[in-house]
């Protein structure tokens, strides 16, 4: 089965996990250990240091490692740290980046129309997915302002957030959930029944958590084989193919 | 799925392919039962929970019902008894004690001696806002000490009610009771590992240890009245515990019907530890503890 991980990371951080991949090569060794074929990766520096430095460094560091696809983290354009949206997207295009990430808590900004009003409509137009690690209610507010945005909610858990999540999933068909922290028994199965298997994307969460955990969970989820294949990689790959940076 | 993985563990391979391993069953030392107000749990109905446990070859689970912890303990403890009587092959119980009901704590020793299938006590100090070292728990802990029973204590790093340091203090006060540090003093790993290493009657329990708790990411935070310590990444923690405290001091747990047994088992099966370590964590250590406390 084709497994395409949308949430994994390598590189040093100020407070690193007990075990992690320092380089792209080490990340691939970890993927091989688990039987994961491909990954949409980011560098720890993009989250815990600065995307200004590490977006470009990521592209350099994964060059030549075909199992890895690059993602960039976004910052507000008002401070001038990040290129203006058109320029940013052009750079993204030439670097082969097809999906973006946002870490609004780590980067102390609001992920809303006021702050990202110049960039987000372009992402809607070009179907560029935004992988967001943030409180699920803030993601709901974002989608209310920019309803066409393709958003993947990352690290949804570890508690069951269904009472917050389901009203949003009902309202916004382009809201997706990444599975690394979707670990409460029965949630994957019920999501497939309620929404079909199209709304979940496999993420290992490595090295926030052990890759094998979300992997065994998905491997043994009580769902049909085609649903498992969609979550393992099919949904993500369709999303990346649709993106036109 | 994952047919080309380089993980050399035969146990992991069998779990990946079939969802279980007949030669390596699981004993879950930290379970609950039934629904909880705080969150939606699809596996709250006992039949659904049992089905999920059987799919992962969880042969035994030791539980304390949510109702025993979040309402008067008597009703929940009765529910546990009914569940044990109905499914004696799967369920064992911890008798829940809550110091906010001192009369129930005082008679817990008598109650548990008349009950069937209970192996010890469950304490939830953070949620009951009473320190594990406090007088409110003493009547139950004295009983556990006299009768060499298990005590599962919710522990969390930095807590004023159940930090690993406080657990170590109480474990030395009651050396014949066996203390399982629920969540392994989450976040204050060094103190927890030290307690398990230094004290023969203290064990690390894995529920939620394999989880990155970022409470900033959760609307409403957690259900405790206190801010919980967050920990953004935990990969490698199981290896660290095995190295410092040994796999003979670690037991497996899930909080079921909370965390999927396969998710939790995956963290053990893909850790860089030996097959013997995996067996110790998944069932052997628990088997020994249960044999000593009458639950085998
Ligand atoms: Zn618990």
- In tens, the pLDDT along B16-42 reads 999 999 999 999 999 999 999 999 999
* Beta carbons of A216 and B257 less than 8 Å apart: no
pLDDT value at residue B218: 72
* Beta carbons of A133 and B217 less than 8 Å apart: yes
Cα B183 to averaged position of ligand 1 atoms, centre (Å): 8
- In tens, the pLDDT along A28-79 reads 999 999 999 999 999 999 999 999 999 999 999 999 999 999 999 999 999 9
Asked if A12 has any chain B CB less than 8 Å from its own CB, the reply is no
The full length of chain B comes to 296
Q: Where are the beta strands (DSSP E) in A4-163?
A: 4-10, 38-43, 68-70, 72-73, 100-102, 130-132, 151-153
Mutate to test the interface with B, among A220, A222, A224, A231 (most CBs of B within 10 A): A220
Nearest to A210 among B19, B262, B266 (CB): B266
SS3 labels along chain B: CCCCCCCCCHHHHHHHHHCCCCCCCEEEEEECCCCCCCCCCCCCCHHHHHHHHHHCCEEEEEECCHHHHHCCHHHHHHHHHHHHHHCCCCEEEEEECCCCCHHHHHCHHHHHHHCCCEEEEEECHHHHCCCCCCHHHHHHHHHHHHHCCEEEEEEECCCCCCCHHHHHHHHHHCCCCEEEEEEEEECCHHHHHHHHHHCCCEEEECCCCCCCECHHHCCCCCCCCCCCCCECCCCCHHHHHHHHHCHHHEECCCCCCCECHHHHHHHHHCCCCCHHHHHHHHHHHHHHHHHHCCCC
User: Nearest CA of chain A to the CA of B156: how many Å?
Assistant: 16
Residue A26, CB half-sphere, CA atoms under 13 Å: how many? 12
Asked if A162 has any chain B CB less than 8 Å from its own CB, the reply is yes
pLDDT value at residue B44: 98
**pLDDT tier at B83, thresholds 50, 70, 90:** very high
Nearest to B266 among A133, A159, A212 (CB): A212
Laid out side by side, the sheet with A38-43 consists of A4-10, A38-43, A68-70
pLDDT value at residue B287: 97
Give A186 or B224, the one with higher predicted confidence.
A186
Q: Are A65 and A29 in contact (CB under 8 A)?
A: no
Residues of B in contact with A209 (CB under 8 A): 210-212, 233-235, 267
Q: What is the mean pLDDT of chain A?
A: 97
Domain B2-16+25-292 has CATH 3.20.20.140: yes
Mean pLDDT confidence for B160-182: 98
Superfamily of segment(s) A4-242: Metal-dependent hydrolases (3.20.20.140)
Q: Please tell me what DSSP assigns to residue A184.
A: B
The CA distance from B28 to B259, in Å, is 11
**pLDDT tier at B296, thresholds 50, 70, 90:** low
Mean pLDDT confidence for B231-259: 96
Residue B223 pLDDT > 90, yes or no?
no
Q: Are A183 and B262 in contact (CB under 8 A)?
A: no
Nearest to B52 among A33, A134, A185 (CB): A185
* Beta carbons of A19 and B235 less than 8 Å apart: yes
Burial string for A59-95 (b: 16+ CB within 10 Å, else e) reads bebbeeeebbbbbbbbbbbeeeebeebeebbebbeeb
Mean pLDDT confidence for A113-140: 97
* Beta carbons of B42 and A214 less than 8 Å apart: no
* Beta carbons of A210 and B235 less than 8 Å apart: yes
pLDDT value at residue B215: 73
Cα B29 to averaged position of ligand 1 atoms, centre (Å): 10
The CA distance from A201 to A230, in Å, is 8
Mean pLDDT confidence for B40-66: 98
Q: For the residues of A188-217, what is the DSSP string, one character each?
A: HHHHHHHH-GGGEE----BTTS-HHHHHHH
Asked if A114 has any chain B CB less than 8 Å from its own CB, the reply is no
Mean pLDDT confidence for A134-138: 94
Cα B9 to averaged position of ligand 1 atoms, centre (Å): 29
Residues of A in contact with B1 (CB under 8 A): 1, 3, 35, 218-219, 228, 232
- In tens, the pLDDT along B103-151 reads 999 999 999 999 999 999 999 999 999 999 999 999 999 999 999 999 9
Q: For the residues of A108-126, what is the DSSP string, one character each?
A: T---SHHHHTTTHHHHHHT
Provide the pairing of β-strand A200-201 with B26-31: unpaired
pLDDT value at residue B231: 80
* Beta carbons of B42 and A105 less than 8 Å apart: no
Mean pLDDT confidence for B227-234: 76
CA closest to B55 among chain A residues: A220
The CA distance from B188 to B179, in Å, is 17
pLDDT value at residue B224: 62
* Beta carbons of A213 and B233 less than 8 Å apart: no
Cα B179 to averaged position of ligand 1 atoms, centre (Å): 14
Mean pLDDT confidence for B188-192: 96
* Beta carbons of B267 and A213 less than 8 Å apart: yes
Q: Between A and B, how many residue pairs show a Cβ–Cβ distance under 8 A?
A: 190
Q: Please tell me what DSSP assigns to residue A82.
A: S
Cα B68 to averaged position of ligand 1 atoms, centre (Å): 12
* Beta carbons of A18 and B237 less than 8 Å apart: yes
Helix (H) or strand (E) holding A176: strand A175-178
Q: Are B121 and B98 in contact (CB under 8 A)?
A: no
Residue B3 pLDDT > 70, yes or no?
no
Residue A15 pLDDT > 90, yes or no?
no
pLDDT value at residue B226: 61
* Beta carbons of A210 and B238 less than 8 Å apart: yes
The full length of chain A comes to 245
**pLDDT tier at A114, thresholds 50, 70, 90:** very high
Cα A155 to averaged position of ligand 1 atoms, centre (Å): 21
* Confidence check on the interface: ipTM exceeds 0.95, yes or no: yes
Residues of A in contact with B224 (CB under 8 A): none
Residues of A in contact with B269 (CB under 8 A): 212, 216
Residue-range domain boundaries for chain B: 2-16+25-292
**pLDDT tier at B1, thresholds 50, 70, 90:** low
- In tens, the pLDDT along A166-208 reads 999 999 999 999 999 999 999 999 999 999 999 999 999 999 9
Asked if A182 has any chain B CB less than 8 Å from its own CB, the reply is no
Cα A17 to averaged position of ligand 1 atoms, centre (Å): 24
Q: What is the mean pLDDT of chain B?
A: 94
pLDDT value at residue B227: 60
The CA distance from B65 to A92, in Å, is 52
Cα B155 to averaged position of ligand 1 atoms, centre (Å): 10
């Amino acid at each position: 089965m084709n497994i395409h991980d949308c949430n994994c990371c390598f590189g040093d951080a100020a407070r690193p996990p007990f075990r992690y991949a320092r380089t792209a090569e080490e990340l691939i060794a970890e993927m091989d250990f688990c039987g994961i074929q491909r990954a949409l990766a980011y560098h720890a520096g993009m989250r815990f240091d600065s995307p200004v430095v590490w977006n470009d460094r990521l592209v350099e560091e994964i060059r030549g490692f075909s199992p890895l696809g690059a993602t960039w983290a976004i910052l507000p354009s008002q401070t001038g740290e990040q290129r203006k949206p058109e320029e940013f997207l052009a750079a993204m295009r030439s670097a082969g980046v097809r999906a973006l990430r946002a870490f609004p808590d780590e980067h102390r900004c609001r992920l809303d129309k006021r702050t990202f009003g110049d960039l987000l409509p372009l992402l809607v137009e070009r179907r560029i997915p935004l992988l967001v690690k943030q409180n699920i209610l803030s993601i709901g507010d974002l989608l209310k302002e920019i309803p066409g945005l393709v958003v993947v909610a990352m690290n949804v858990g570890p508690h069951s957030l269904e009472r917050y999540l389901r009203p949003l999933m009902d309202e916004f068909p382009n809201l997706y959930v990444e599975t690394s922290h979707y670990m409460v028994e029965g949630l994957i199965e019920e999501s497939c029944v309620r929404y079909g298997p199209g709304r979940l994307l496999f993420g290992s969460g490595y090295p926030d958590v052990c890759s094998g955990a979300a992997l065994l969970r998905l491997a043994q989820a009580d769902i049909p084989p085609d649903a498992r294949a969609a979550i393992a990689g099919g949904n993500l790959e369709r999303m990346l193919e649709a993106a036109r940076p | 799925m994952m047919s080309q993985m380089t993980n050399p563990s035969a146990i992991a391979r069998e779990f990946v392919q079939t969802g279980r391993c007949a030669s390596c069953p699981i004993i879950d030392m930290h379970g609950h039962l039934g629904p909880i107000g705080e969150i939606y749990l699809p596996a709250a109905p006992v039949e659904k929970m049992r089905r999920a446990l059987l799919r992962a070859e969880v042969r035994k689970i030791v539980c304390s019902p949510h109702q025993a912890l979040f309402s008067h303990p008597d009703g929940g403890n009765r529910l546990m008894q009914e569940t044990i009587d109905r499914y004696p092959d799967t369920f064992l119980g911890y008798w829940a004690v809550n110091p906010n009901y001192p009369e129930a704590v005082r008679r817990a020793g008598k109650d548990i001696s008349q009950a069937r299938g209970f192996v010890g006590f469950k304490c939830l100090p953070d949620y009951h806002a009473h320190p594990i070292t406090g007088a409110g728990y003493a009547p139950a802990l004295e009983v556990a000490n006299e009768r060499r029973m298990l005590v599962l204590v919710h522990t969390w790093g930095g807590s004023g009610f159940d930090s690993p340091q406080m657990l170590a203090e109480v474990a030395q006060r009651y050396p014949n009771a066996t203390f399982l540090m629920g969540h392994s003093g989450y976040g204050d790993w060094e103190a927890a590992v030290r307690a398990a290493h230094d004290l023969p009657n203290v064990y690390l329990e894995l529920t939620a240890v394999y989880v990155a708790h970022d409470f900033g990411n959760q609307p409403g935070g957690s259900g405790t009245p206190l801010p919980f310590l967050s920990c953004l990444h935990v990969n490698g923690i199981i290896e660290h515990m095995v190295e410092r405290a040994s796999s003979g001091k670690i037991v497996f747990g899930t909080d079921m019907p909370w965390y999927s047994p396969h998710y939790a088992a995956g963290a053990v099966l893909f850790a860089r530890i030996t097959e013997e370590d995996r067996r110790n964590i998944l069932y052997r250590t628990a088997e020994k503890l249960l044999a000593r406390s009458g639950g085998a």
